[in-house]
Amino acid sequence: MQEASTPAVAEIDPTRTLVDTVLEYRAQRPTLPLFKKRTDRQWINVSAKHFVDEVDAVAKGLIASGVQAGDRVALLSATRYEWTLIDYAIWRAGATTVAIYDTSAPDQVQWILEDSGASLLIVETHGQYTQHLNVIDNSPKLREALVIDDHAVAELTKRGKKINEVELEARHQSAAASDPATLIYTSGTTGRPKGVVLTHANFMAECIATKASMGDMMSEGKSTLLFLPLAHVFARAVVVASVENRVILGHTSNIKTLLDDFAQFRPSYILSVPRVFEKVYNSAEQKAIDGGRGSIFQKAVATAVEWSKAQDQGGAGLLLKVKHTVFDKLVYSKLREALGGQCDAALSGGAPLGARLGHFFRGAGIPVYEGYGLTETTAGITLNGPSGQAVGSVGRAVAGCSVAIADDGEVLLKGPIVFGGYWHNEKATAEAIVDGWFHTGDIGKLEDGYLHITGRKKELIVTAGGKNVSPAQLEDVIRAHALISQALVVGDNKPFIAALLTLDPEVVPGWLERNNLPASTSLADLAEHAGLKAELQEAIDSANRTVSKAEAIKKFAILDTDFTIESGELTPTLKLKRKVIHEGHQQAIADLYT
β-bridge mates for residue 347, sequence order: 271, 369
The reported pLDDT for the residue numbered 189 is 46
Same fold, 18-175+223-267 and 271-456: yes
Task: List pLDDT tens digits, range 523-551.
Answer: 888 888 999 999 999 999 999 998 888 88
The CATH fold of domain 271-456: Rossmann fold (3.40.50)
- Give the whole-angstrom CA distance, residue 365 versus residue 336: 8
Higher pLDDT, 353 or 204: 204
Q: Domain-by-domain residue ranges, the chain?
A: 18-175+223-267, 271-456, 461-592
Residue 303 above 70 pLDDT? Answer: yes
Residue 466 above 90 pLDDT? Answer: no
Q: Contact at 8 Å (CB) between 506 and 447?
A: no
Q: Are strands 497-503 and 461-462 parallel, antiparallel or unpaired?
A: unpaired
Residue 468 above 60 pLDDT? Answer: yes
- Give the whole-angstrom CA distance, residue 384 versus residue 343: 17
The reported pLDDT for the residue numbered 467 is 75
Choose among 363, 367, 405: nearest CA to 385: 367
- Give the whole-angstrom CA distance, residue 356 versus residue 301: 10
Give me the DSSP letters along 466-499. --EE-HHHHHHHHTTSTTEEEEEEE-TTSSSEEE
Mean pLDDT within 324-353: 90
User: For the CA atoms of the chain, what is the radius of gyration?
Assistant: 24
What are the φ and ψ backbone dihedral angles of 310, each rounded to 5 degrees? -65, -30
- Give the whole-angstrom CA distance, residue 350 versus residue 374: 8
Task: List pLDDT tens digits, range 45-62.
Answer: 999 999 999 999 999 999
- Provide CB contacts within 8 A for 295, sequence distance 6+: none
The CATH fold of domain 18-175+223-267: Rossmann fold (3.40.50)
CA angle 287, 348, 359 (to 5 degrees): 60
- Provide CB contacts within 8 A for 541, sequence distance 6+: none
| Highest mean pLDDT out of 26-30, 285-289, 313-317 | 26-30
- Give the whole-angstrom CA distance, residue 48 versus residue 348: 28
Higher pLDDT, 243 or 355: 243
Question: What CA–CA distances, in Å, run from 584 to 75, 462, 498, 517?
Answer: 30, 21, 17, 30
Residue 563 above 50 pLDDT? Answer: yes
What are the φ and ψ backbone dihedral angles of 280, each rounded to 5 degrees? -60, -45
- Give the whole-angstrom CA distance, residue 303 versus residue 115: 53
Q: Contact at 8 Å (CB) between 550 and 465?
A: yes
Angle at which helices 81-92 and 48-64 pack, to 10 degrees? 60
What is the pLDDT confidence band of residue 459, given thresholds at 50, 70 and 90?
confident
The reported pLDDT for the residue numbered 581 is 94
- Give the whole-angstrom CA distance, residue 559 versus residue 527: 7
What is the pLDDT confidence band of residue 187, given thresholds at 50, 70 and 90?
low
Dihedral (CA of 46, 51, 53, 57) sign: positive
- Provide CB contacts within 8 A for 40, sequence distance 6+: none
Task: List pLDDT tens digits, range 215-274.
Answer: 899 999 999 999 999 999 999 999 999 999 999 999 999 888 888 899 899 999 999 888
Mean pLDDT within 203-209: 97
Task: List pLDDT tens digits, range 63-111.
Answer: 999 999 999 999 999 999 999 999 999 999 999 999 999 988 899 999 9
**CB-count exposure of residue 160 (10 Å: 0-12, 13-18, 19+):** buried
Q: How many CB atoms lie within 10 A of CB 322?
A: 12
- Amino acid type, 4: A
Mean pLDDT within 421-441: 95
What are the φ and ψ backbone dihedral angles of 461, each rounded to 5 degrees? -95, 130
Residue 351 above 80 pLDDT? Answer: no
What is the pLDDT confidence band of residue 485, given thresholds at 50, 70 and 90?
very high
* Percent of the chain surpassing pLDDT 70: 99
If you ran DSSP here, which 8-state letter would residue 228 be given?
S
Residue 113 above 60 pLDDT? Answer: yes
β-bridge mates for residue 379, sequence order: 374
What integer best gives the mean pLDDT of the chain? 93
Task: List pLDDT tens digits, range 370-398.
Answer: 999 999 999 999 999 998 999 989 999 99
SS3 421: coil
- Give the whole-angstrom CA distance, residue 25 versus residue 31: 9
- Just give the CATH number of 461-592: 3.30.300.30
Element (H, E) at 307: helix 294-311
Q: Contact at 8 Å (CB) between 145 and 123?
A: yes
Give me the DSSP letters along 23-55. HHHHHH-TT-EEEEEEETTEEEEEEHHHHHHHH
Alpha carbons within 13 A on the beta-carbon side of 212: 20
Q: In what order do the strands lie in the sheet with 248-251?
A: 42-47, 33-39, 248-251, 223-226
Mean pLDDT within 410-415: 97
- Give the whole-angstrom CA distance, residue 89 versus residue 52: 9
- Give the whole-angstrom CA distance, residue 178 versus residue 55: 21
Three-class HEC string of 393-415: ECCEECCCCEEEECCCCEEEEEC
Q: Are strands 96-100 and 72-76 parallel, antiparallel or unpaired?
A: parallel
What is the pLDDT confidence band of residue 191, given thresholds at 50, 70 and 90?
low
